[in-house]
Amino acid sequence: MQDPRPTVASRPVAFSAASGVWNITDHIPLESVIVQGHRGVGALAEENTLEAFELAWRMGLYPEADLRMTRDGVIVPFHDHDFSRVVKDAPGPLQRMGVEHLTYAELSQLDVGSWKGEQFKDRHVVRMAAIFELMQSRPERHLYMDVKQIDFRLLAAEVKQFGLERQIVLATSEVAQLRAWRTLVPESETLLWLHGNETVVRTALAELAATRFDGVTQVQLHVYAKLTDDTWAPPVDASTADNPFRLSNAFLRETGDALRAYSVLYQAFPWTDASSVYAQLLDLGVMSLATDHPIVARRELQAYYAGKVTRKSRAGG
């Protein structure tokens, strides 16, 4: 399938908005839109388990795995730095421990599903090698890997062992890590996630533009509703009353135009339960979505494309 992004040869040398209004429906077929399932399949299942990844693939998602290493050097999917949240009724000492304190044999005995609900009881952490094996010779299966605590050389060796160089996307907030990874697996896609207000994001993007986005093939913006009780949300940027996001609509569109000029995929992660945000973000030039609510995201994507087709056919008729 042809890559919808511009060619490398077309990249300019500065971070600036392109002219015109870009819309996803004119450039990317619905079936090719990347939807990332946060920590596997978002809120639909317990996070970072084999079962969650399988469900995500059945839904046509790119699941996300958070990667850590056990005390004996086994790479596993696990998000938190300790076990206090996802190991239900864990004794005090265990709550304060993390993946790096246990051997894989010890870690694999922990129930990491019951905290989410009884229907997820007795779900366990597995080796990333077991996840990779499920992707081998299945080119339609992709995976985001958000690195938390990892040996890149060991991870690269496992990815190459299963022939998955073009099926995985390494994700982090650290540009240096993405560049280091690309030296080991140059065929891999990479995602830089950015969290902050316009000043923070614009500064980061300008620094990347100075290097022509060296080592970065995708950028994800964390997009929060203007009204939220999430304590991790960045400050609200100045915007009109009808602007629903903490980042301004103008800046969100400008960012997409600039990223496309550098052949970088523009992904947004809406940190809100509101279903209306998906169409709003797509109207602003977003090319890809990450979500905790994949059923809603898929439904809204389909409705968005159907609406665009209807409007085009009416206009042409």
Concatenate the DSSP letters of all residues of 195-250 into one string. Answer: -S-HHHHHHHHHHHHTTTSTT-SEEEEEEEBSS---TTPPPPPP--TT--BSS-HH
The label of the residue with tokens 């890149």 reads 152
What is the pLDDT, as a whole number, of residue 66?
98
pLDDT in tens, 46-68: 999 999 999 999 999 999 999 99
The CATH architecture that domain 10-316 belongs to is Alpha-Beta Barrel (3.20)
- In the predicted model, residues of the chain with pLDDT beneath 70 are 1-20, 311-317
What is the pLDDT, as a whole number, of residue 205?
98
Helix (H) or strand (E) holding 49: none
Long-range contacts at 296-299 (CB < 8 A, ≥ 24 apart): 297/35, 298/35, 298/59, 298/60, 299/275
- Tell me if 101 sits within 8 A of 81, measured CB to CB: no
Q: 234: burial class by Cβ within 10 Å (0-12, 13-18, 19+)? A: middle
- Tell me if 156 sits within 8 A of 177, measured CB to CB: no
CA-nearest of 169, 236, 241, 256 to 196 is 236
Give the Cα separation of 93 and 131 in Å (integer): 29
What is the pLDDT, as a whole number, of residue 20?
61
Give the Cα separation of 234 and 183 in Å (integer): 33
Q: Tell me phi and psi for residue 29, to 5 degrees.
A: -60, 150
What is the pLDDT, as a whole number, of residue 313?
61
Is 0.75 topped by the overall pTM?
yes
The torsion angle over the Cα atoms of residues 216, 6, 160 and 73, rounded to 10 degrees, is 20
